[in-house]
Amino acid sequence: MLSPVTAAPRAAKPEYPKSKDRSHWLYISVIAAVVLGAAVGLLFPEVGKSFKPLGDAFVALIKMMIAPVIFCTIVLGIGSIAKAATVGKVGGLALGYFLVMSTFALGLGLVVGNLVHPGEGLHLTAYDPSKKAAGNGTVDFIMHIIPGSIPVLPVLFVALLVGFALQKMGPAAKPLLDGLALVQGVVFRVLMMIMWVAPIGAFGAIAAVVGATGWSAIGAMALLMGAFYLTCILFIVVVLGTLLKAFTGVSIFKLMKYLAREYLLIFATSSSESALPRLIAKMEHVGVSKPVVGVTVPTGYSFNLDGTAIYLTMAALFVSNAMGMEMSLGQQIGLLVFMIIASKGAAGVTGAGLATLAAGLQSHQPALLGGMGVIVGIDKFMSEARALTNFTGNAVATVLVGNWVGEFDRKQAREVLDGRLPFDENSVVEHGTVRGAEIDQQGVDQHGDATYVDDQKVSVAARV
């Protein structure tokens, strides 16, 4: 049985300035840019190819942010792992499960990517400043304004050392972590600023690749999206469904039906973060104890990103195939190991997932970054599947961990999932209704798991 945990008194929720969520306009703009870019590439191939520098410039901006994103999220992430582990048996089980499942999801993405070979035949090329053609002086000037990227592996190594050093310092490290959290807020704000030019970058990249290869480019992108959606479905139904049935006797389909309203919310927002307070309330209602839910759900939102893991490896193979630079088995294993660590930094703002993907590509073959522009264009089409898979994975993890520590009421779960004990919508209020709601359990300090974006508090790794 789970040892008793004394709940920390809930602090008064601070008032944050209200601001409109404009991210849906970004989403719509990217889709419109992709459609327009594909049309230009098909109807006016030479004109489409001339827009390639727009995509290259956007990729360069993403490259610029790789090092600060990886450093901040890994250092603060290690601190978060330590805090979760101090909770005891629940934290240890949850972290162990998250590590195994994210590794499995990354491996599954590699397997599917090797089977379907997305991106083959596109023959993408990267911008090369050493090859100067007539009339591209302006392009060269703009490209040289954007700073070059810092090597990723040294940054990751230093981040790990700094993270563990701060962990060893204990309470004395809190001022440093506070300062780094503020730096992370600045980094994410800059990243959001960059993402607002994503429609321009997506238009240029899609127009160029479609102009060069025609309908084959559209087919390759459709293949990647279809394979990704199918892989996510199989992961949820087969992998998560089997684990849930084997250990708890709960049907994955009944659990998904129970969470149907949350799925609609996530689909509308392309963010699993929007359903965080509702997931906490519903997991308690389905029979998992409050302490287990309080530890597992918030930690899972940062470290159990199954959908993102599948996306990272499949997208990496898509780019390598499209660039004609196939990864060897050894390189793929190295990519897997890198992504196991770096995916914990696929943090909670739009674009951080792209930065993590770019970091993985650069760490193995920097030339592969030239194919990132196409991924930017279709990334939004896969965001719903990522968010839904991440959300389902965290729901299943909460039930499993609760069962393993003896804090899951199977009788209540049957009553709830069979519809005899309906969920009270008013109970969501007590868990908070703002995005990135404060975590109100067991004195788990979630500092380092949140940042400020557009004057709102958002949890790290919730929007990917």
User: Residue 1 falls within a domain, yes or no?
Assistant: no
Range of the domain at 60: 33-432+448-459
Amino acid identity, position 166: L
Task: Write the CATH number for 339.
Answer: 1.10.3860
3-state secondary structure of 219: helix
Note the pLDDT of residue 173. 81
Cα 307 versus chain centre, distance: 8
For the whole model, what pTM was predicted?
A: 0.75
Residue 96 is assigned to a structural domain of this protein: yes
| Predicted pLDDT at 438 | 37
Residue 439 lies in a domain: no
Select from 156, 437, 157, 443 the least CA-distant residue to 298.
Answer: 437
Within-domain flag for 269: yes
Count CB atoms within 10 A of the CB of residue 151. Answer: 13
Q: What is the pLDDT of residue 233?
A: 94
Residue 151 falls inside a structural domain? yes
Domain assignment present for 335: yes
The pLDDT of residue 166 is 84
Longest CA–CA span in the chain (Å) reads 74
168 CB-contact burial (10 Å; exposed 0-12 / middle 13-18 / buried 19+): exposed
For the chain, how many structural domains are there in total?
A: 1
Q: What is the identity of the amino acid at 86?
A: T
Residue-level pLDDT at 80: 62
The distance from CA 131 to its chain's CA centroid, rounded to whole angstroms, is 35
- What per-residue confidence (pLDDT) applies to 401? 92
Answer yes or no: are the C-beta atoms of 139 and 50 closer than 8 Å: no
Give the length of the chain: 464
pLDDT < 50 positions in the chain: 1-20, 130, 132-135, 431-464
Q: List helix spans (H) across 305-409.
A: 306-322, 329-342, 352-364, 372-404
Q: Are 146 and 57 in contact (CB under 8 A)?
A: yes
Q: DSSP for 281-311?
A: HHHHHTTB-HHHHHHHHHHHHHH--HHHHHH
Say if 95 falls within a structural domain.
yes
3-class DSSP assignment, residue 25: helix
Half-sphere exposure of 449 (CA within 13 A, CB side): 26
- Tell whether 414 is covered by a domain: yes
Listed residue (189, 201, 176, 230) closest to 371, CA to CA: 201
What pLDDT does 217 receive? 81
